[in-house]
A = this chain, B = another copy of it.
Amino acid sequence: MQTLFQYNWIVRDEWYHWCENLSEQELLKPRSGGVGSILKTLFHIADVEWSWIQSIQGKPDFQEDFEGYRSLAKVRALDARFRADIEPFVRGWDESLERRIYTQQRMDGSMEDLAWGEVMRHALAHEIHHVGQLSVWAREVGKTPVSANLIGRGLADSLPGRKA
């Protein structure tokens, strides 16, 4: 679990860095698909990751409104705050947590039991999916996207099991 979250955090930080070379207008410009702009996507990724991990722990959640975060600096600061909240939980993850149950209320009011392991994988896949969208939009603005490679990032030490 740690490996894929660490991968996401590294890639996300590279996207923030990548965004430094784009105008605020391009960062906020409405685009086809996803949540609609490059910066809103990064905001959404950080918000959703944090919200799920807070929720399964029974910690308070709230829906941050993007209108209050329409600059790269503000999204980065929010993300740093969120990450400090959730990183200890991710680093402390072990197999005993996989099948704990989180009961969520669906939009229609009905209840749904989810395993924590499902929720964590949902959150990490959610980020990779949205980053794929960023990569298309990067080409639209004539720039090379951040690499999506997981290999070559020195992540072997984060793998499950004992180090040799």
Interface residues of A (CB under 8 A from B): 3-4, 7, 31-34, 95-96, 98-99, 112, 114-115, 117-119, 121-122, 125-126, 128-133, 135-140, 145, 148-152, 155-156, 159-164
Contact = CB atoms under 8 A, between A and B. Distances in A.
A159 B115 CA distance: 9
Given A117-B159, A121-B155, A132-B133, 9 more contacts: A34-B132, A98-B159, A99-B162, A112-B151, A114-B151, A117-B161, A122-B149, A125-B150, A128-B128
B118 A159 contact: yes
A118 B151 contact: yes
Copies in the complex: 2
Indicate the member of A31, A117, A128, A155 with the most B CB atoms within 10 Å.
A128
